[in-house]
Amino acid sequence: MPNYVLLLSYVGTRFHGWQIQPNLRTVQGVLKQSLEKIFGENIKITGCCRTDAGVHAKEYVANFYTIKSLDTERLLKAVNSLLPEDIGVKRIWIQEGFNARYSVKGKVYIYRILNSHSRDAFLEPFVWRLPHKLNFSDMERASELFLGKKDFSAFTKRDDEDKNTIIELEEISLSKAEDLIEIRLRARSFLRYMVRRIVGSLVQLGMGKINMESIEAYLSRKRHCPYTAKAKGLTLEKVLL
């Protein structure tokens, strides 16, 4: 049985996340329907991670096994002809033993904030637009608190707190071009809501509503972070293979 690996992208605006959910439009569900039309068999797709409703992916990796075998170029053309415009498959290859959940070496997320009263229609679906002026320097300094191996249980969903919440955040960097702020984070894995709550806490700090000690309290598990940045600003930028 060939093991197909897909590199795809999607705009998350009209999806209820990656994972199949009853009666909801999800990326995994739409992709599964298209592949089953092509192969005429039940397809079980494994994704590299779950993304929340409204979150985008510039790169996402998935894999599936089939009984039938198709040339990868023919399959690429066939699946893209069936998929809606908000999902695109960039590349397909066969790699035995590859598991999208366990074989990837890391992920890079970028969160984008448009710190302006102005609205750019081309950016709007992919940014959290905040008119309140943010102190970029304070946010940049505070971001260093998250680097390294930490317990991020205060930054995940409470239902997930019994899971392994020790994550090594290998990179967090902030950049600013005019009114557009980008926050880049890299790690082998992330907890649910982790990136959005890190960003949420940095935004609150940038607005002067919390201080460095508040973030330190979250990281020491003295308090749970109550701030979650909007999903639309988050993009899974790259999957490290």
| Cβ(184)–Cβ(108) below 8 Å | yes
How far is the C-alpha of 120 from the C-alpha of 37, rounded, in Å?
A: 38
**Residue 159, CB half-sphere, CA atoms under 13 Å: how many?**
2
Taken as a whole, the chain contains a residue count of 241
Q: Is residue 52 annotated as part of the catalytic site, yes or no?
A: yes
| Cβ(81)–Cβ(25) below 8 Å | no
* Candidates 52, 71, 86, 159; catalytic one: 52
**Element holding 76 (H helix, E strand):** helix 72-82
Strands 106-114 and 128-129: parallel
Phi-psi region of 208 (alpha: psi -120 to 50; beta: other; left: phi over 0): left
Catalytic positions are 52
